[in-house]
Structure 1
Amino acid sequence: MIFESHKLIRFAHCDPAGIVFYPRYAELCNEVVEDWFREGLGVDFHEFHEERRLGFPTVRLEMEFLTPSRYGDVLAFRLGIARLGKSSMELSIEACRGEQIRLRIKLKTVLVSLDTLRPRVIDDFWRKTLLPYVQGGEAA
């Protein structure tokens, strides 16, 4: 399964050249992950962090910029899990306008306790919740 979230490229996302300023893509990526938790996984970030005391901080971020995006473009961000490990997952995110891929993102996160900031094993509840998004069946 792929989660999809649409984002309007706003004036504030752009640099003086009129294209998306690359750090803004990291912010949009984080918005997409938040959207996925709320809409796809059924747990919003507030509940995940404040009530469950869990986090999935980023430990690696790779971005490949294929074609510039401009103010007014609406991009479809498509998210899937490329790899689900014992305590980590690697997300694969593409930002597209129509069928044209503008950006590819690889995002590795690790499940941690917010109380100890130590990694936690992805338990049965989270594994069952995440498995539908695993692409190609790669889960440890």
Structure 2
Amino acid sequence: MRTYRYQRRLHWSECDPGGIVFFPNYARWMVDGLNEMLLSLGIDPNAMVDDKTRGGLPVVQLSMRFFDAPLLHMQLCHEISVEKIGGKSITFVHRFLRGESLLMEAHETRVWATHLLGDATSMQANRVPDNVRELLTTESAQ
């Protein structure tokens, strides 16, 4: 399965008064990192499907485990791995590391979905497209 990695610095605006990352920022980084991973593969799950329908990749399950706290200005590695691709869902593992030291690990499951513009209640899960499945099961060259 595919793995994607990138480096990021912990900024002052992402910390609590003690200089430790404010934990909800991990969720934001996970969304941003996953978006970069998918876009780097030419996948835009939020693209327009037609003139009335937009795609989406909503989270249906999320768990986070914290092992150590990064500090202000620390350089972190965010590693995203595809763990499983089901019929309509994809499970990702996010790991944040300082060198080889694991700081946080999260497992998230998202569904491949569409919804009518202006009607978020019309969200509907769809089969993960074959081209997406193929791109996400191919080993990365990193």
* Range class of TM-score, shorter chain: 0.7 to 0.9
Amino acid at match of 2:48: E
Q: How does 1:16-55 map to 2 (within 5 A)?
A: 16-39=17-40, 41-44=41-44, 48-52=45-49, 53-55=54-56
CA–CA distance in structure 1, aligned partners of residues 95 and 84 of structure 2: 16
In structure 1, the partner of 2:92 is 91
With over 3 angstroms needed to count, the CA separation of the structure-2 counterparts of 1:133 and 1:82, relative to structure 1, is farther
Counterpart secondary structure, 2:136: helix
Q: Is the 8 A contact 2:88 2:125 kept in 1?
A: yes
Q: CA deviation at 1:133?
A: 5.5
- 8 Å CA contact 1:87, 1:111 repeated in 2: yes
Q: Does the 8 Å CA contact 1:81/1:133 hold for their aligned counterparts?
A: no
- Structural RMSD (CA): 1.6
Asked if 1 retains the 8 angstrom alpha-carbon contact of 2:43 and 2:132, the reply is no
Q: Percent identity?
A: 23
On the 8 A contact 1:56/1:112 being kept in 2, the answer is yes
2:125 match = 119
User: Aligned residue pairs: how many?
Assistant: 130
- Deviation of residue 125 (structure 1)? 1.8
Q: List gaps (5 residues or longer) in structure 1.
A: 135-140
Q: TM-score, normalised by structure 1?
A: 0.86
Q: TM-score, normalised by structure 2?
A: 0.84
- Which protein is bigger by CA-based radius of gyration? 2
Q: Which runs of 5+ in 2 are unaligned?
A: 117-121
State how far apart, in whole Å, the 1-side matches of 2:124 and 2:104 are.
31
Q: Which residue of 2 aligns with 1:10?
A: 11
Amino acid of the residue matched to residue 27 of structure 1? R
Q: CA deviation at 1:26?
A: 0.7
CA distance in 2, matches of 1:24, 1:66: 16
CA deviations 1:14-41 (Å, max 9, x no partner) are 00121001111111111111111122x2
| Deviating more after overlay: 64-73 vs 120-129 | 120-129
Q: Which residue of 2 aligns with 1:110?
A: 111
